[in-house]
Structure 1
Amino acid sequence: MVKKVTPKLVTAILSAGMLSFLGILDETATTVTFPTLIKEFAVTTDQVQWVNTLVLLVIATIVPLSSQISLRFTTKKIFIAGIVFFMIGLIIDIFTPRFDLLLLGRAFQGIGTGIGLPLMYNIILAKVPKDKLGFMMGIGTMITAVAVALGPVFGGIVTDLLTWRWIFIISTFLAIISAFTGSYAITQLNKLQKVKFKYGQWLAIAVGLVLLMLGFTSIAKNSFWSFQVIGCLVFGLVSLAIWLKLSWRDRHALISPHLFLNLHFSMQLICYCFAKITTLALGFIFPIYVQTVNHGSVSLAGWIMLPGAICDALMAALAGKLLDKKGAWLPIMGGIIASLAGVVMMTVAGLHLSDLEIILLYALYYGGYGMCFSSLMTSGLTSLSVADHAQGNAIFNTLQQFSGALGTALAGTLIAISQNNHQLLRQQTTALGARWTFMVLTGLIILNLVIAIIFVPRPPKTSTHLEE
């Protein structure tokens, strides 16, 4: 059967993408409310970052099951399950009187998003013709990019005019609409099979990721050599080693470790992860910076984030077109260079960033990110065989979420460490922690540039004589 991009297919992609959209909308919307949540629930900076870190971590542990879930259950049932979990989380968050219950609700939202996120990309990979794949992958990325663009403004305006709880109330209505459109448009992607869930492999991955995150975030309040830090990191690595042992000889592994032996895949995956770490770290820093250092309002913090997120959405769509016509090299290299320029200038001016400088530098960074991010995923997946696309997609989405959680935790931890210096004003320690983070992120993007130069496929050189 010839693949075509029909209105029903677009509706299916958008409906599945709505779970990703709402997950990221709520994530970016709540980020600008962190100072409000800190006051209302009497928590610290490193504690409040778990409002988003937990969601991303839950998604990272759910996504590895996506390939097996898609073989065991119908596509439509998977979508409905994602909607139900997400809405349970929304209801808890709307009515919660305590911070721990807020985190519980966010965990349920993470389960729903973790189910829905791979579904959108699986629909694209299964149903979209190859000559439109780059464009539609860009559209899929743009769905989340629009959420990033709207989230801070949406969260700021809603919090200023109503309360932060209305963020989740409005998301509930959008989730209901998505449930109806998805039930109509989403069709079966593959034949169902009786597969046994790889519970041991999944548990080893989940425990490993959770322990690594707990160890990393504990650095803000404990010595690196304490059990809370080094113990969690060591046992996390041991758990991942157990996963490797369980998976290595399993031809039907939950996630095949053999895919990482493909250097073009694994190196572009690393670039993808570094880009996500940087983006989520900056998304955490700037709303707090605007409110704490520059004394702006919640809504102002949201508006300042908007131009950068718009650049991201526009560049993601442009990158898809470029990839289809010119290959992955141009959008990836151009994007990394633009992102690097933005973060370097943030580092130089880190202690004294005005609101206008944040707008301009964030737009420069985010435009570059939009150019390279979806292109790295598309290029990485096309380096695999078609049979490995589902697992490759699961790997990208798992590590995307874990990297996002790591980025948020990185920024939250460094700012919290800086804020432990009570000899300086809070606005000074916040700015100092932000600058430390910018320096780390600069190093990551430099590594990205080096890796991309070596491993991103260059477009084939065509002879003018032959073309004539």
Structure 2
Amino acid sequence: MIALLVAGFVGLFSETALNIALGDLGQIFNVNATTIQWLATGYFLTLGILVPVTGILMQKFTTRQMFMVSILLSIIGTVLAAIAPVFSILLVGRIIQAAGLAINLPLTQNVIFTIFPANKRGAAMGVMGLVMLAGPALGPTIAGLILDTLSWHWIFWVTIPFLLFSFIFGFIYLPNVNEIRQVSIDKLSVILSTIGFGGIVYGVSVSGELGWTNATVMGTIIVGFIALIIFAVRQTKMDSPMLNLKAFTFPLFVLGVIMSFITFFNMLSMLVILPMYMQMALVIAAFTTGLVLLPGSLLNCVLAPTIGRLFDKYGPKAVITPGTILVAIAYGLYAQFGTETALWMIVVTHIIMMLGVGAVLASVQTNTLNSLPKQYYPDGIAITQTIQQVAGAIGIAVMVSVLAAKQNSYMANIANVPTEAAAMGSELVFQIGLGLAVVNVVLSFFIKKPE
């Protein structure tokens, strides 16, 4: 587990660490904002395309084979990005990095559900939840510190020792735990999945620059949805489908997938919008922004294993419902923020938010997968991981678009004051987040422990 979790942390850290350096990299490589954004978009796009395929790969290849490929891709991608002399090589490095993470995340969950009995999975998934939150949350803070003291290359170099440790540790200790089956990979299913998830993630990712009514944006999203419908119909008619959609016949699984979508939509968009609010409305530096968000992230890291143990002891509702309520309270407080909000208030609110997300994230995932028979675990994991990546990409695109639209409207119609406009845009985003958080509170009352 150590080998898998360290590699997962590095991959998720890399997902957000570079975001804080995008402005500098645009000037260094002499490319515009739309082009440099591909360093983030390409990462999400790769995850959205490859994660669905890992469900079938985990049944075809051994745990060790999957792990070694994942780590080697991560190392190759990281080194390539660190030495990149031009933008195109940096982008290729990022895509290879994301391919490594796309294998690692579902593999880690599959190992947890294979080696831990049902009454101990909550604690194990709590530790994975720590990794899934700490990586993206600490990324901007550590990257800000690196940019202040070293060059951007070190955002990549600093992760290499951890990847090498993971590789060596996994090579020595990681056994084969999954059952290998004779399955054939249906090429048409892979193509449809790639066009479907890839089209949706690409469409929503570029909507911020091109606008939602742009022909390319609407076209790729529509084509993506059509491809997914054909993909789903094809899976139901195959003897050995690439992704077994029978998982959706279990009501608790469906409930968990919806709650996971809302949680990741809100969480990943909040990790982008909150720093934007602090830098644009409160006019504070990037590194200070990272420090303000640090206490919530660290507290969540400390408490994640404890939350997992509470899940094992008292069941899902006792952990998930209070978690969703904390998230809703935090969004209610965020929605009150303006241009004069004290930093201590942001710190306290972010701590409440991260405690809530920590209680919901891993617990919902554990309960969702516990509701499936063992033979559906690889498919259930591939489905939930894909939904999470797609939810994150859609959340960021939608919320950034809402923020920009409200900001522009305020400056054009009310007052040409950038700080006030940014505060008003952020307030609208947080109100939408509050609405979704309340939906999750209601859904949490229907959560129960699977038989």
Structure 1 residue aligned with 2:326: 338
**Structure 2 stretches of 5 or more lacking a match?**
none
1:443 to 427, 431, 435: 435
Structure 2 residue aligned with 1:434: 426
Q: Which moved more, 1:442-451 or 1:33-42?
A: 33-42
Structure 2 residue aligned with 1:122: 110
- Cα pair 1:34 1:288 within 8 Å, conserved: no
2:76 alignment partner, SS class: helix
1:213-254 C-alpha deviation (Å, 9 max, x unpaired): 233234334454442232222111101111012101223212
- Cα pair 2:59 2:378 within 8 Å, conserved: no
1:53-101 C-alpha deviation (Å, 9 max, x unpaired): 4323312221222232223222212111111211222123213344444
Structure 2 residue aligned with 1:175: 163
1:288 alignment partner, SS class: helix
2-structure distance, mates of 1:274, 1:283: 14
1-structure distance, mates of 2:428, 2:178: 48
Structure 2 residue aligned with 1:237: 225
Go from structure 1 to structure 2 and tell me whether the alpha carbon gap of 1:266 and 1:205 turns closer, same or farther (over 3 Å shift). same
Q: Which moved more, 1:52-61 or 1:153-162?
A: 52-61
Shift, 1:34, TM fit: 4.0
Structure 2 residue aligned with 1:456: 447
Q: Which moved more, 1:209-218 or 1:318-327?
A: 209-218
Shift, 1:178, TM fit: 1.0
Q: Which moved more, 1:370-379 or 1:356-365?
A: 356-365
1:188 to 176, 180, 184: 176
Letter in 2 for 1:190: N
Shift, 1:38, TM fit: 5.2
Q: Which moved more, 1:412-421 or 1:233-242?
A: 412-421
2:68 alignment partner, SS class: helix
Shift, 1:442, TM fit: 1.5
2-structure distance, mates of 1:40, 1:432: 32
2:332 alignment partner, SS class: helix
Alignment of 1:253-272 (within 5 A): 253-272=241-260
1-structure distance, mates of 2:38, 2:277: 18
- Cα pair 1:19 1:116 within 8 Å, conserved: yes
2-structure distance, mates of 1:81, 1:176: 13
1:134 to 89, 102, 122: 122
Letter in 1 for 2:253: F
Letter in 1 for 2:396: T
1:354-399 C-alpha deviation (Å, 9 max, x unpaired): 4322212111111100011111011111111122122111111111
2:159 alignment partner, SS class: helix
Q: TM-score with structure 2 length normalisation?
A: 0.91
1-structure distance, mates of 2:399, 2:198: 18
Go from structure 1 to structure 2 and tell me whether the alpha carbon gap of 1:328 and 1:350 turns closer, same or farther (over 3 Å shift). farther
- Cα pair 1:274 1:445 within 8 Å, conserved: yes
Alignment of 1:296-335 (within 5 A): 296-335=284-323
RMSD: 2.4
1:11-45 C-alpha deviation (Å, 9 max, x unpaired): xx111122210011122322333444455456676
1:204 alignment partner, SS class: helix
Go from structure 1 to structure 2 and tell me whether the alpha carbon gap of 1:38 and 1:405 turns closer, same or farther (over 3 Å shift). same
1-structure distance, mates of 2:88, 2:404: 20
Structure 2 residue aligned with 1:228: 216
Go from structure 1 to structure 2 and tell me whether the alpha carbon gap of 1:213 and 1:392 turns closer, same or farther (over 3 Å shift). same
1-structure distance, mates of 2:279, 2:89: 26
Alignment of 1:21-100 (within 5 A): 21-37=9-25, 39-40=27-28, 49-100=37-88
Aligned residues: 447
Q: Which moved more, 1:82-91 or 1:33-42?
A: 33-42
Structure 1 residue aligned with 2:377: 389
2-structure distance, mates of 1:241, 1:459: 29
- Cα pair 1:49 1:408 within 8 Å, conserved: no
- Cα pair 1:312 1:367 within 8 Å, conserved: yes
